[in-house]
Amino acid sequence: MLARTTPFEETIEKRIISQFIKHLEDKSVEVKSNAVKCIKDTASRIRESNVILILEKLAYEIVEGKEETLDIFTLTVRGIVMEAKEDFASSLIKTLNGFLIKGLEYSSPLVKGECLEIFSDIFKRFGGFILR
């Protein structure tokens, strides 16, 4: 059995990410919910470029998706932010910033609130990095 911090082999990781993205696009909320539960458990073992792919998809769904999945996707992004390695800070912030700003400018009050929560977590987790 692999430790929770042991990175995946690259080919296995690509398959995991591919399936994860596919399940996020499923019509069933239950399928989406199960996918985000799995990604929370594996995010710390995934390479930076793939974490960014996941965050792009999740952030897009937060800003442009349906409100019925807003909580699921927001909690997943917040979990990834809080668990991400500090080495990922720059690319994580760059990736999420544009989506979150768009959510604050053009979305419903509910989406705006979720975007602010994610920004708050980013500042808590990487505030020192941002100030550098």
Give the CA distances from residue 121 to residues 37, 66, 69, 80, in Å, rounded to whole numbers and listed in that order.
19, 22, 20, 10
Q: Cα(62)–Cα(42) distance, rounded to whole angstroms? A: 21
Q: Which of 4-13, 23-32, 118-127 has the highest mean pLDDT?
A: 118-127
Let me know: does 12 contact 45? Beta carbons within 8 Å.
no
pTM for the structure as a whole: 0.84
- Contacting residues for 28 by C-beta, under 8 A, at least 6 apart: none
pLDDT score for 132: 60
pLDDT tens-digit series, residues 38-89? 877 777 788 888 889 989 999 999 999 888 889 989 988 998 998 888 888 9
